[in-house]
Structure formats: structure tokens, C-alpha cells
A and B are shown apart, each in its own frame.
Chain A
Amino acid sequence: MTTNTREPAIRVQAITKSYKDLHVLRGVDFDVAAGSIFALLGSNGAGKTTLVRILSTLLKANTGTAIVHGFDVSSAPGDVRKSISLTGQFAAVDEVLTGRENLVLVAKLRHLANPAAIADDMLARFSLTDAGNRRAATYSGGMRRRLDIAMSLVGNPPIVFLDEPTTGLDPQARIEVWQAVRQLAKDGTTILLTTQYLDEAEQLADRIAILHKGTIIQNGTLAELKQLLPSAKVEYVEKQPTLEDVFLALVSDASDAADGAAVPAGEESR
């Protein structure tokens, strides 16, 4: 990567982390440009979560440096925490509290003025207004994830970490999360997301880094990564709808029968 005109929002240099003989991270380097979506792609156990936990000050690296929003994660963790927000792999919502109370709690902990108004605004932004006064325990997986992300965005932190934000979600909830992420990036937030889904990285990310066995083995835009393989060859393939296309078309608007065109006439028999 050549020099950037703008200071990168996140700069990771030679980060290592081991647990006894288990080397989870073996020297990770990358930069994330401010305002971009950066996807860290890797299979389970590649070290994605460990890296996110280091960047969000939950874990200390053995060696290497990580600068987040201009602050060193090991020497200025307090400043880093003011600049970031983490949405972990498991929805970090308080199930006993209602959605609104969860948001008010975070707004208070961020010492913002008028927590109630912020909560209402967030509920509206994430289509949770109707469920706002229900306990989070009663929410579906997708709603819980949306509340989780909404809680992370209270106070508009400039940098957001999303650790596998759509793992375990159904396709619709997944698309809702994607929309929320795109909207965030449009508003100028820097997003580092980890995922094991290739299509998620393809859909969202400005840049994709592949983390494999504790190191970044590739880092580039989608187009750059595609060029790594031999030039595209032209094949003619009958375009069939994927099961996901079918599922989404069927459930998106079951009442709108006239919208049958959305479901391509099925070669697949019932």
C-alpha cells in the first residue's frame, strides 16, 4: 500500500499474540483508511476475534503496535475506548432490560445529554420503535442484533468494530444488518468487520484482508483480489436462482401475489 493522504483510522503493525504454544496471531499488519469498510476474512480459528479484541482494548498483544484513531491501544486504552465501539460475536444486550432501557443505559454511560431522546432516535433508526418497551429477551435474533448494533452506535463513535455481525442470522436479518452497515459508512464511520462469509465481504467491504493462520495473506480491493486468479474465462451457464433468491422472494412479500415475477419461473419443481 502506498502512502495515504489521510492518516489511517486504524494502523496495525506486527501484532502477535500467543497463548503458551498456541500462536494465534503471528505478525499482523494492515491499515484501514478513515471512512472505509474493511473486512477481515477468515475461517474459524484464524484469529479474527483475537485481533478485534486487541484493537478494542479487551486483550493485550504480545508484541507489535496498534494505533486506533491516533491512539495506541496499549498506552492509551482510555482514549481508544472513547473513539470506538465494539459489537462482539454474541449480542451484548441486557436481556432483562427493554430495548429502550438498553439504549438509555449506553447513552448514560457515554455521558450524553438527553439519553431518552437518543434512545428513541436509535429505536426509530433500527425499526425497533414498536418493540422498544419490550424486554430484549423477547426479541428475535435479528432484532437483538439490530439492538446490539444500535447500542454500539450511541454517541456516534468514529470507529466501529463488528465481529461476525451476521453469524447465526437468517437471510433477511442479514440484509438488514448489511443495510445498517452501509448507512454507517455513508455517514463517515470507519468500520472494521470480521466475517467468515465471502459474500458478506464482497457485498460490503471497500478492502478485504484475508487472515489465515495468524497472518494476513492477502489485502486489497475486491477487484485486486479477483485479479490474483488467472484471467476470467467466459462460460455460458444457465442462470438459476439460488435457494437464497427463492427464499427471500417467497418470504419478502407473501401477500403481494402479483409480484410473482420476483420468483423466476421455477426450473426446480416443487
Chain B
Amino acid sequence: MTTSRAAWTPRAGGALAGTAFAGTGELTRLAVRRDRIGLSAAVYVIVALVAGTAYSFRKLYPTQAGRAALAATGESNPALRFLYGRLDGDSLGSLTTWRYGIWAAIFTALMAIFVVVRHTRADEEAGRLELMGSAAVGRDAPLTAGLLPAAAASLVIAGLLWLVLPLVHLPAAGSAALALGIGGCGLTFTGITAVAAQLASTARAARGIALGALGAAFALRGVGDAAGPGGPSWLSWASPLGWVQLARPFAAERWWVLGLPLAVFAAGVALAFRLAAHRDHGAGLLPDRPGRAAASRWLSGPSGLAWRLQRGALAGWAFGFAATFAASGAAAKGVGQLFGTSSALQRAFTRIGGQTAIVNAYLAGLMLLAGMVAAAYATSAVLRLRTEETAGRAEPVLATATSRVRWGLSHLGVAAGGSALLLAVAGLAAGLGYGLRTGSPGPEAARMLGAATAQLPATLLMAGVAVALVGWWPGGAVAGAWTAVGAVVAISLFGAALQLSHWGLDISPFTHVPKLPGGPVAVTPLLWLSLAALALAAAGLAGLRRRDIG
């Protein structure tokens, strides 16, 4: 004991010993160690995304005329402006900024939000900070250490982009402006999340506040960017995501705009430290609302419980589906001209959609995407069974007059009903989004609803795979089910490009789904997919009946 204390004290102190920041270095090292893989992956993906886009645009649009056509399409389509923002010119740099400037900033912000919450409120909620707080650690050290990894990772992203973008032949000044804009967005949301973690008393709520702010930022600049002349285009200025393009990288840079994220970061961090000093450990500034003292009529059987546990997540998914597919559907109108400018892209899209008509191919590709994302949702909903089991919450339920099959069906029911709902939302939203722009919302919505429904059997088959794994291989169910989803997505997106054999492509259930809208409606494969889904689910439930629980 004595020796370990002797070893601990000098290290915990250092130059900061005795100050409110004592121990910051140790805590930061611990945080970085816990996150080393996730943070490196996030940094790599974001940098590769932007640099890769710049590189592939050079290949896809080698001529000035092609780039000008793409820029004109992007600039003239409000739905595309909502998704990607405005274009300043038609240089490769401008196109890169347009296509991935805002989205890279969003990914950087997401990284910052999750990392900050993980090291501040989540640690506090789990009681880990209490353990550290009792060691020789200063009052402000945990918050400082919680913010440093996210801030540092944002700066690393900016630094790497600054270095890498000139390597793919983009001008140095614009590269710097784009890099700082994207990294700056990470800093902005580090500051915002720092405040959210003081306000909320749970990690979930803190993430909710910060993600809500990110969603609002996206919507504000989306409306501002989509607005025509005389519209509220000033809204983009109110959004941290808008600043990325308002700094005008590669087109007469407005450097002072890049000071805005730094100001928000500084203000957020200062406010967070003030709030942290004025609250108790473990408490938030927003009060915990008491709930019902007795259960309502709805919370009765296992299905009522499964619905109650999963409804919040489903609502979030449905909202995301509605927004994404409405915007993507609305973008379909100009899509013919957009891809008409690049023969390589045209070929790629025809391949994914399997249709000659580009709009139909685009919409069919959209529905394939909806089917696969819904399969990811269904998988997560089924795996809730396993989470409940390992957390010890299945035991009290199964010790009541609830059979294992009924318990399994309760979550499987949410997964099946939820993915059906998500696909319906995707179809209707895409149909309405496209139909409102072409003047026939009713027929388009009905047509797209049908196309989305055709994805359901394949989606449910993936849920069936997860049930079978939970029943027969509980220890590997989580990893196995997500590997299956990943493999299916990879086959569907890249299988043809990688020239997989027919056998390889046929593994993915989505290969067998008719390419709708546009393609012929084939019922037989859908029946086979449904039967396979049922068989897998039945097998999984049979496995659940015969194995040990816990």
C-alpha cells in the first residue's frame, strides 16, 4: 500500500500538484488509452472520406465542362442544397467542399459528442469518477481530461487534412480553410457537449441534448442553404455546420469565419467549468423528473415491456428515416442530369439499381439502402434479448409465468413491426419527397410504399439470423449478427464491383429482392425469403427453449 501510494503521488501531482488541475495528465492518458482504437478509426475515416472524395472527383470529372455541369445541377436543386449545402464555383476543391465539407463536419461533431459524454457524464453516472475524485485529483481535472481527447482529435483531423489535401492537388489555402472548418466543428461540439454533460444527470440525456443541437444545426443551415433568393438564407449563419462553407474554402476564403468555432468552443468550455463548480457530484442542473408510481394499463405482458423498452429507439430511427428519405427522394428529380455528367457514376448506379432509367435506378438504390438500414435496426432490436439476458434482467421476467418463446417473441415482434414501420416511412417519405417536386405526390408515395415493402422479407431474414444466433450461439450472437449485417451490406454495395461470383452475390438476401420501382415484380423470391426468415426465427426460438439462461 505504502509503495503504491509513494509511486502515485508524484505522478498525480507533477507541475499541477495541489492545483485544481492536479492529475489531469494521468486522467487524459487514461481516457486516450480507453479510446485509442475508436478515436484513431474516426480520424482515419473522416480524413480518408474527404481526401478520397477529392481524389475520385478528379477521376470522375476530368473536364472543366463536366465539373461545371455537376456544379450547376448541385446549385440548382434545393433538395441537394439542403443535403450538401451551397457551391462556390466549380473547382475540384469547391466540389469536394460541397459534397463532403458539411458531412465530414457532422462526423467530426458526432465523434466529439460521443467521446466527451463518455469521459464526463457517463463516467460520473457509472461512479468511476467518484473513485478517481477520491484520489489526488484536482477539482477541474476530470472535466479537463474529459474534453482533451475530443479537442485533440478534432485538431488532428484538421492537421491531417491540411497536410493531405494538397497531396491530392488541391490549393493549399483552400485546403487549410476546409481542414480548419471541419476540425473547428469538432471543437464547437466539444464545447456544446461539455455544457450538456453538466446540465443532464444521465449520459443518455447529455447525448440527447448534444445530438439535438447537432440536428438543429443541420436543419438551420439546410433551410438556409435550400432557400431561394429572398428566402431566409441568413439561417446558415446561425449554424456551426454552415460555417464550414461560409468560410468559402477554395473560393476567396473568409478567414475570420474560422474564428467562430473557436469562440463557441471557448465559451462552452468556460461555461461548463462554471456549471461544474456549482453543482454536486452525480447531479445535473436539470432536475430528474419523477415517473409514475404505478404501471399504466399498457405495461402488462412481456410485449408491453418490450415495447416500452424499445419505443424510444424506434421513434428516433423513424424520425431519421423520414428526414433522410424525404430529402433523398426530393433529390431524385435532378438526379438524371447529375449522373449524366459522369459516365462512370452512371454505370455504377445502373449496376446497383439494375435499371436503365436513372431516376428509377436511383430510387431503387434508395430502397435497397432503406432495406439494409432497416435490417440493422431489426438486428439491434432482436439483440436486445441478449442484452437483457446478460444484464440479468431476463431472469426476473422468465421466473414469472412468461414462457421463453413468449419472451423471445416480444422483442422479435418489436423488431419485425419496427422494421416494417421504418420501411413504410422510407417509402412514403421518398415518394412524397420526389412526388411533391414532380407534382404527383399521391401516386409516387403509393408506388414507393410498394417498393419499400418488397424489402421487408429480406430485412426480416436478417432479424431471423439474429434470433437463430441468440438461440443457438448466445456467446457469439452480438458479434455474429453484426458480422452478418456487415457482410450483406458489403456484398450488396460492392459485390458487383468486386466481380463476386453469382454464388457470392446470392448469399445476400437483398440480391433476390426485385429492383423496385421500375423492375418487374417477382413474388416467388419474396415468398422464399419470408419462409427462410420464419424458419430461422422458429429455429432460434427452439434453441432458446432448450438452453441455459444467463
On whether the two chains bind one another, the answer is no
What residues of chain B have their CB less than 8 Å away from a CB belonging to chain A? none
